[in-house]
Structure 1
Amino acid sequence: MAPIIALAFAFLFFPLSSSVSALSSNYYDQTCPQLEQTVTSTVQKALQNDRTVAAALLRMHFHDCFIRGCDASVLLNSKGNNRAEKDGPPNISLHAFYVIDHAKTAVEALCPGVVSCADILALAARDAVVLSGGPTWEVPKGRKDGRISQAIDTRQLPAPVFNISQLQQSFSQRGLSLEDLVALSGGHTLGFAHCSSFQNRIHSFNATFDVDPTLNPSLASNLRSICPVNNNVRNAGTSLDSTNFKFDNMYYKLLLQGRSIFSSDQALVTDKRTRALVAKYASSQEEFENAFVKSMIKMSSITGGQEIRLNCRVVR
């Protein structure tokens, strides 16, 4: 996906709470029974026109949950002097917000003022995975939408240059384990990375090496041709694995071959605990899918909102 893990600068952490018990898979069964099929239809239509939508929605959900919980604050527009999360450096490349807008409009026509934008985003992320050939799962629902969105808070997002200790700290602050880190990183199977996200590995890596020595030489050469030192092609970059429109375990296989794109991906094979998980998922699509579903439910159950927005871009 346009990288799930994006640019960050420091840790500023807001206490979040995982509220699995407060959410329910049948939350809207009585109040909006057509919710899921409505969202799925919207995502499906968008994917038919643009195959990058799947990665965009999955990344959008991740970036939402890692700030103030899964409260749809990533959807809010900047207003006046306040720059919203979507305008923070790591989120500039987020796209496909229109898919959530369209889904919200369709849902509001059926069930006015009932369904949160946060729940629609969580469902859309699940549908993005399913429609890309990945597993399905029951999405716990009942999230509320947040009222605060600040670009500065995107510094909390784990960065593509993070090492394993930094990644572990970022995830553990949100109640997520090393297992969750490795499983959720597998979402990169749908991804695309811009040059700026991996420039550190292919130019001036350190005082000894111009290129990260852990990077496969042929891949490094290809990346350097795509992303020269003075790259001025705005959307230049590369897919995060060789089957980037298919939800599979190719990402893990490439990690073991030294063909990862981000430093944060490479970091997963530098620790024996995370490397063992990478190897397990590389050898079994089923193991990966089971772990991914479990971790997605866990991550998407971090809550923090207060209202039901009628327009996902504007506080009610």
Structure 2
Amino acid sequence: RIVYPNILENTVQREMLGRGDADIAWDLSAAQLDALKHEPRFYVMQTPDLAMQYLGMDVKNVPAFGKAEVRRAVKYAIDYDGIIGDLLNGNGAPLQGVIPKGLFGYEPTLWFKHDPARAKSLLAEAGFGSGFTAELLTGTGSAAGGISSGDLAAKVKNDLGAVGITINVRQVAQSELLKAYRGQQSQMVMLSWFVDYPDPDDFAKPFGDYTQKSLAWRLQYYNDPLVKLVGQAAEMQNTPERGAIYKRVNETMAQDGPFAILYQPVLSLGVSKRIQNLLFDPVNFIDFLSLTKQ
């Protein structure tokens, strides 16, 4: 018999796990998972989620973001290792392409590292050596990977501030954020994107094809050659030719696109050691036929 209660509050999940009222907890925070790793009665099982946390820059509403050099400067300004190691406690993995690890077309290249000097040089090259100001919209809840959206936004604000970009963070309800974003009224946004169906097209089209009126359109990023590439790949099987196109898509988005991919979250379960032979993945989740309980 499998009992699958809908417990939304992660503190309640953690308490139930500790009392033995639950054997598996999903959606624990990064701090809770880190603490659980040091308790002998439990273990943490992890796999890369088919998702990403990203920073979006509107290329029309903020004139600076209309220049690719500025968009790259933002990407060099971010301390990715600090986000993954310090904020997420390892509950995330590096990702800078627009297709997550676990899907065909994933690109492992990390084009950007934390390099404030390079970021300042690019800003000066673009004519923004004295910096500029932008508003960052983020939600009031958790970001992907179980950390506070506010804490992540504060980290991004500090990183960009160090190179002369002043960020005014505004935390709003998700409905208000999405209304502004979908209406092309935002300056910067910080959001996550999760898989709907396990094919790279589920990421390449929203991020690269503005004609879909999804993420690229919301940031007013209109790149017709990229749209053509994404469309070609969508019609193909998973062949080397398709892989080569997605490599070009990933590289174009990294060097020119309005998205700074912050990390790929790790899907984590807090598990009682009474549970053995646990198998799970981000699409099918838990294979209940394989697991056993002592």
TM-score computed with the length of structure 2 as normaliser: 0.31
Q: Which is richer in helix? A: 1
Structure showing greater radius of gyration is 2
Q: Which is richer in strand? A: 2
